[in-house]
Amino acid sequence: MQIIEGAKKFDVAIIPIGGGTSAGIVGQNLERLLNEKGFTCGHEPDSVEFSTLGGWVATRASGMKKNKYGNIEDLLVHVTLITPQGYIRRQCQVPRMSSGPDLHQVVLGSEGILGVVTEATIKIFPKPEVKKYGSLIFPTFRHGVNFFREVARQHCECASLRLVDNEQFSMGQAMKIDDGSLFQGLRRKMEKLYVTSWKNFKVSNLKNEEVPLSLDP
């Protein structure tokens, strides 16, 4: 609190960088520690290896597995925010009220403007016994969007679904690190040959595909 008061007095901006504990713990470290105990927090934003628990709250973060576990506002149980005027402590998992402003919503997504998140309690879940991953290739981006709409219509409960265009896919492939394994290298070449030569899939088909707001099934 003294640091906040000093920053207010001298009009100095604060960039919170802690020791990696409490609300300052980095996402991937939190997940690793939970996994060792047989649990998971279920929150996996793209920045999980850099961002912190407090940062998730301050930015109202969303993760790739939100379909199953929810966004950070769904996981948050209790939060403490230090402001120039004092502490804001909120019990977040309470019955809905129709009267007065909701300070819970003030804290979430505040982006550090109103104060610093120093404590956060979130839900955790049992670690899944099995994880299954798969990928599909669509001839055009339009087909991919229609597939996603059908998944939603059928209420398929996938933990994560992501549709990428050609540029994002190519960037992801370019950033992969070669493990140096002869077998893996041969396997990747065979996979590419199967998709492009046997299935006649053209990567360039995904480029510049316009997707209207309303699509036919």
Q: Domains of the chain (ranges plus CATH)?
A: 2-126 (3.30.465.10), 141-206 (no CATH)
pLDDT, residue 206, reads 47
CB 57 within 8 A of CB 120: yes
Sheet containing strand 86-91, edge to edge, reads: 86-91, 76-83, 116-122
* Partners of residue 120 on adjacent β-strands: 79
Which residues are annotated as part of the binding site? Answer: 46-52, 59-62, 111-117
pLDDT, residue 52, reads 94
Spell out, as residue ranges, where the chain has pLDDT lower than 50.
206-217
pLDDT, residue 133, reads 84
pLDDT, residue 59, reads 94
pLDDT, residue 202, reads 66
Which residues are annotated as part of the binding site for FAD? Answer: 46-52, 59-62, 111-117
Find all residues with CB under 8 Å of 169, minimum gap 6, and list them. Answer: 203, 206
pLDDT, residue 204, reads 61
pLDDT, residue 212, reads 41
Ramachandran sector of residue 155 (left: φ over 0; alpha: ψ -120 to 50; beta: rest): left
Cβ atoms within 10 Å of 158's Cβ, excluding its own: 11
